[in-house]
Homo-oligomer: A and B are copies of this chain.
């Protein structure tokens, strides 16, 4: 027996769960102002999330998937990407979407069951939310292929969950991205649960980062509650991709603090102690501790920020609620570039109703 290949999976963390510095900070994180910018986004995400749930509970929004606990992954990814990169996402990346220019009103529209919520113009080329798990991994490969073919210094960033790594499309896409050395970054947000299925039931793989080995690409794990670690890994992966170095898979370890969606009741299958434990590890507190320790943050700033975020979210909610319902015939709009004759008849049928 000869050893013919060796692999390692590394883990990175800069701020530990107590907000203490665990490793020398990367350049960008040495300026607290940069971290404050990230923190502000994370607080806005949390305010948005709370509002969305409140709207849903009062019958003013459809089923909603909370990103509670995953703010650091969102902020790390959203802040690292360039404007003309392309983002391909699941339903739990609304935070990244905001940072890229999707308005909160549009996000509410989406969850309100209105197609206009995916019609956002900024970011112009980002894909719509992908509900069918992992299907968008192959879309990311295609988008990245187009960028590479045209010699553009752009990157496709594809976010997915731990559950998604079990799906064939994930593997097919990852493998192809490796085969063509494409400019794509896969971010696996390992929040430990896929609805009621815990990470350990999903796969015997010790880490999800090691899924990259099958595709012959680089995989690494980061503390997904440490926004610095996420951002740093993204910076490196994006730079590598832009430089022709090919794909990277980043497993971001975090925790889904909420129910799967508002239609779910996680107490049915999840130990409350585990959730309580996870709360100690949540990403906002740790960053706030660090910023406070740096002298860059205090209670006054915190209160002002919370107020600002709540107002912003409230205004967006109102704007959303004020939008008139779409016209019934919108179900025929944009189905094709030009509505075929056969469908014009059906449209008339529908209007005749």
Query: A residues engaging B (CB < 8 A)?
Result: 1-12, 23, 166-172, 175-176, 178-179, 181, 201-207, 210-217, 220-221, 246
Contact = CB atoms under 8 A, between A and B. Distances in A.
A10 B175 CA distance: 22
Contacts of A204: 175, 178-179, 181, 215-217, 246
A207 B9 CA distance: 17
A169 B167 CA distance: 8
A11 B175 CA distance: 22
Given A1-B11, A3-B9, A5-B206, A179 B201 contact: yes
A4 B205 CA distance: 12
20 contacts: A1-B10, A1-B11, A3-B9, A3-B11, A5-B8, A5-B206, A5-B207, A6-B7, A7-B213, A166-B172, A168-B172, A178-B203, A178-B205, A179-B203, A203-B216, A205-B213, A205-B216, A206-B216, A210-B216, A212-B214
Contacts of A178: 203-205
Contact of A168 (B169, B211, B213, B215): B169
A4 B168 contact: no
Nearest to A178: B204
A333 B12 CA distance: 61
- 8 pairs of A and B residues whose beta carbons are closest in the complex: A168-B168, A204-B216, A171-B171, A214-B214, A178-B204, A205-B216, A5-B9, A211-B214
A1 B220 CA distance: 9
A2 B202 CA distance: 24
Contacts of A210: 5, 7, 213-214, 216
Contacts of A2: 10-12
Contacts of A216: 203-206, 210
Nearest to A246: B204
Contacts of A217: 204
A181 B4 CA distance: 25
A23 B10 CA distance: 35
A235 B171 CA distance: 29
Given A6-B6, A178-B203, A214-B215, 10 more contacts: A1-B12, A2-B12, A3-B8, A5-B9, A168-B168, A171-B172, A171-B214, A179-B201, A205-B213, A210-B214
Nearest to A168: B168
A141 to B, nearest CB: 12
Contacts of A10: 1-4
A203 B8 CA distance: 19
**Which of A5, A169, A178, A179 has the most chain B CB atoms closer than 10 A to its own CB?**
A5
Contact of A8 (B6, B171, B202): B6
A217 B206 CA distance: 10
A20 to B, nearest CB: 16
Contacts of A179: 201-204
Nearest to A214: B214
A178 B175 CA distance: 20
A216 B211 CA distance: 9
A5 B204 CA distance: 13
